[in-house]
Amino acid sequence: MPTASNSGARAARTQQHAARTEAARERLKAWIAERGLKQTRQRDLIVDSFFSASGHLSIDELLARVSLRDRNIGAATVYRTMKILTESGLASARHFDDGQTRYEAALDRDHHDHLICTKCQTIIEFENERIEELQDEVALEHGFTVTRHKLELYGLCGKCRAKSDR
């Protein structure tokens, strides 16, 4: 039974990713056409690899996935494609404290912030409406108009703390 429900969950996730990839490709196609750009085999492959993965991918990680399908795709193309995805609003770039830019799917996604385990690199997403409100209040008190913000909590996740407590 656990096996069945696990594979069921996995199948659902896969299907969800497939739908998401599909939608992303549609939107990108339109965005690209609007500006007289071109759809290429490389871009399709990169976009596919990106949306069929989950989480917060670095260029290296994405390139690794892409290379499995076509080892001739260069890093520059991956950088260029992610820039396009970011500009079109389909992905968003995040700069955590590990030195490299990470990208996450932004398609129909709400705003959220992150909890990051400094030991195992697990990233957990959260939304807290009250914090968002307080941020606006703080900004207002200082005469600021906030256009974006970054809230990252770094620490140890439950598993890693358990290990280090031992």
Partner DNA sequence: GACGCAATTGAGAACGATTCTCAACGAGCA
Partner DNA sequence: TGCTCGTTGAGAATCGTTCTCAATTGCGTC
Residue 128 near a second copy by CB under 8 A: yes
- Which 3 state secondary structure label does DSSP give 26? helix
Assess 145 for contact with a second copy (CB under 8 A): yes
- Determine contact, residues 154/120, Cβ cutoff 8 Å: no
Q: Out of a second copy, DNA, Zn ion, none, which partner does residue 10 contact, by CB within 5 to 8 A per kind?
A: none
Matching residue, tokens 């950088």 = 79
Q: Which residues have CB under 8 Å from 37's CB, separation 6+?
A: 84
Token pair for 29: 């196609």
Query: Could you tell me the CA-to-CA distances from 2 to 6, 12, 40, 108, 157 in Å, in that order?
Result: 6, 15, 42, 31, 25
125 binds Zn ion (CB under 5 A): yes
Sheet holding 57-58, edge to edge: 57-58, 102-105, 91-94
Out of 28, 63, 84, 117, the only residue in the binding site for Zn ion (CB under 5 A) is 117
CB-nearer residue toward Zn ion: 99 or 143:
143
Report the site for a second copy in 28-57 (rule: CB under 8 A): none
Structure tokens at 114: 């992150």
Q: Which of DNA, Zn ion, a second copy, none is residue 115 near (CB under 5 to 8 Å by kind)?
A: a second copy
Task: Please state, in angstroms and rounded to a whole number, the distance separating the CA atoms of residues 84 and 103.
Answer: 12
Minimum gap (Å) between residue 78 Cβ and DNA: 8
Rounded to a whole number of angstroms, the minimum distance from the CB of residue 152 to DNA is: 16
2 binds, among Zn ion, DNA, a second copy, none (CB under 5 to 8 A by kind): none
Residues interacting with DNA, by CB under 7 A? 32-33, 36-43, 58-60, 70, 72-77, 79-81, 83, 99-101
Q: Which residues bind a second copy (CB under 8 A)?
A: 95, 97, 115, 117-118, 124, 126, 128, 130-131, 134-135, 138-139, 141-158, 161
